[in-house]
Amino acid sequence: MDFDPTLLRAFVAVKETGGFTRAAERLHLTQSAVSHQIRKLEEQVGRQLLHRTTRRLTVTEDGEDFLRYAQQILDTLDAMTRRFQPSPITGVVRFGVPDNFMGDRLPPLLSQFARAFPAVRMEVCVSMHTDLRAAIRSGELDLAVVMSPPNVAEGTCLRRTQLVWAAAETFEAPKGASLPLAFFPKPCVNRQVAGSALDLTAIDWHVVFTSASPQGIRAAVLAGLAVTVLTREEVEPGMKFVDGRYGLPPLPSVEFALIWSESGKTPCACRFGQMILEMPDLAVGARA
């Protein structure tokens, strides 16, 4: 049995407004048209849904049950309409993000945005090596998440994290020799912060391994080749914190911030940026 949503809406309107006249006003119909729709619905159901007298209109017991189902159907239809309504927003969103920021959250974010705005094309740069700030300044990207060095306020703060020294659980520094380190190529905030901290010490150190890939740095560390700098969340099984060992200095906390290019705040890019700000477990407060 297929029910016409128009008849269901008429029935719900009569119940909610308490009469045919007000229901007709809500639906922008005549009273006789609403009465006809209710009669047609009752004929299809084969049950009396409304009890009418000259002074009062009430919903029958069958009508109460039918009303519950009708409301569920209409709510579902409304949700479907909102979900699949063509989006008026079109264009391109050019987004940059470091590998160590979103992790497994990035695919669901892209999927959610693509469903909401199917006419928008995405260009995403995920890299620890690319200078995302330079790409923002040149207009190559509309928005980007960047890691901000200590005491540098920029964009909107998404999350704060602690930088730590990390090495393989089996790592031992070579006695009487320079301490081997592994870093991403410049520009890299991890490398910048580590170098500034090391310059204030008497540690003899050298870069033994460089990779633009987080997997490359991870492999070098787990192989016991070098010590590196990671965010606390990136230290994984097989690694250990070595803060304070081998004379290594303490490291500061850093921020992940969302920044924009001068021309990047297009309607589609703004919608994508808002989705980032609303992601759970990311926002820790905003700074204009």
Average pLDDT over residues 20-29: 93
| 205/170 Cα distance (integer angstroms) | 19
| 110/132 Cα distance (integer angstroms) | 19
Query: What is this structure's pTM?
Result: 0.65
52 HSE (CA, 13 A, CB side) = 11
The pLDDT score that the predictor gives to residue 288 is: 31
CATH class of 5-84: mainly alpha
Q: Is the pLDDT of residue 70 over 50?
A: yes
Structure tokens at 285: 């407060």
> Which helix (H) or strand (E) segment is 241 a member of?
strand 239-241
The pLDDT score that the predictor gives to residue 81 is: 84
Indicate the SS3 state at residue 61: helix
Q: Where in the chain is the domain with CATH 3.40.190.10?
A: 91-159+255-278, 160-253
Task: Give the domain 91-159+255-278 fold.
Answer: D-Maltodextrin-Binding Protein; domain 2 (3.40.190)
| 202/194 Cα distance (integer angstroms) | 14
Q: Which of 230, 146, 147 is nearest to 181 (CA)?
A: 230
Indicate the SS3 state at residue 34: helix
Q: Cβ of 5: how many Cβ atoms within 10 Å?
A: 12
Q: Is the pLDDT of residue 241 over 80?
A: yes
Q: What is the pLDDT of residues 36-53, one digit of tens each?
A: 999 999 999 999 999 988
Q: Where in the chain is the domain with CATH 1.10.10.10?
A: 5-84
Q: Is the pLDDT of residue 284 over 90?
A: no
Average pLDDT over residues 278-284: 65
What's the CATH number of domain 160-253, 3.40.50.740, 3.40.50.300, 3.40.50.1980, 3.40.190.10?
3.40.190.10
Q: What is the pLDDT of residues 196-238, one digit of tens each?
A: 999 999 999 999 999 988 899 999 999 999 999 999 999 999 9
Residue 250 confidence class, pLDDT cut points 50, 70, 90 = very high
Of all residues in the chain, what percent carry a pLDDT higher than 90?
70
Mean pLDDT of the chain: 90
